[in-house]
Amino acid sequence: METKICRICGIEKELNLFEIDSRKKSKYTNRCRSCKHELDDKASRSFRSLKSRSLKLGIPVEVTPKEIRQLFAVFDGCCSYCGKRPKKESLLHLEHIVALSEGGRNTLANLLPACVSCNLSKSNKPIVTHFLNNREKFPDVHFRLVIDYMSVLSGSTKEDVVKELTDDHVMYELKQIEKELRSDV
């Protein structure tokens, strides 16, 4: 039986474990079917989407598909804010704790899984603002889990994380007040 080495896993496998690709000289893809399917999971699709958006914005991606896979596993495929598991896997987004438009980065410590509803309602607001505005959908237990997650990844204490997030909320609210005052003039 003829064999080929998969470029992803590096294992020599029988040709029938590779897909046929008429564009290739060898007539087979250079990755096995199992590796191809692994690359098409939710985390890999989310990573490709993140990478594409980041290229357009000129913001580096500082996270790997493996880390995103672990992130989805930590939250068990559920929204980190409301805790619901979307009916469709595609309805769970990577949400930036600090929005890219507000200077956030594409790091594991700045990403959370969020359902479409929570992601859109949070928008570019600080996480504490989102929490306070959506207490019925974003319960304390989920907020504490997010704080724990951020604390572990940043190597900071929970108290320091809460202080930083609270400071972000205060600054956001001050900016909102300034905008209102300017529009009243």
Q: Report the pLDDT value the prediction gives residue 41, as an integer from 0 to 100.
A: 79
The pLDDT assigned to 78 comes to 93
| Helices and strands (H and E) in the chain: how many | 7, 6
Three-class DSSP category at 78: coil
Residue 129 or residue 39, greater confidence: 129
pLDDT at 145: 93
Residues 104 and 95: their CA atoms lie apart, in Å, by 11
The yes-or-no verdict on residue 79 having pLDDT over 90 is yes
Within 9-115, where are the H helices?
Answer: 33-38, 42-57, 65-74
Predicted confidence at residue 23, as pLDDT, reads 86
For residue range 94-128, what is the model confidence (pLDDT) as tens digits? 999 999 988 999 999 999 999 999 999 999 999 99
Confidence class for position 150, pLDDT limits 50, 70, 90:
very high
**Share of residues in the chain with pLDDT > 70 (%):** 99
Q: Exposed, middle or buried, 59 (CB in 10 Å: 0-12/13-18/19+)? A: middle
Average pLDDT score over the chain:
91
- Residue 141's pLDDT is what? 93
The pLDDT score that the predictor gives to residue 51 is 93
The Cα 179–Cα 171 span in angstroms is 12
d(CA 104, CA 173): 18
Instruction: Please list, in sequence order, all residues whose beta carbon lies within 8 angstroms of the beta carbon of residue 48, skipping any fewer than 6 positions away.
Output: none
The answer to whether residues 79 and 114 touch, using CB atoms and an 8 Å cutoff, is yes
Tokens standing for residue 116: 């479409």
What is the average per-residue pLDDT within 82-97?
90
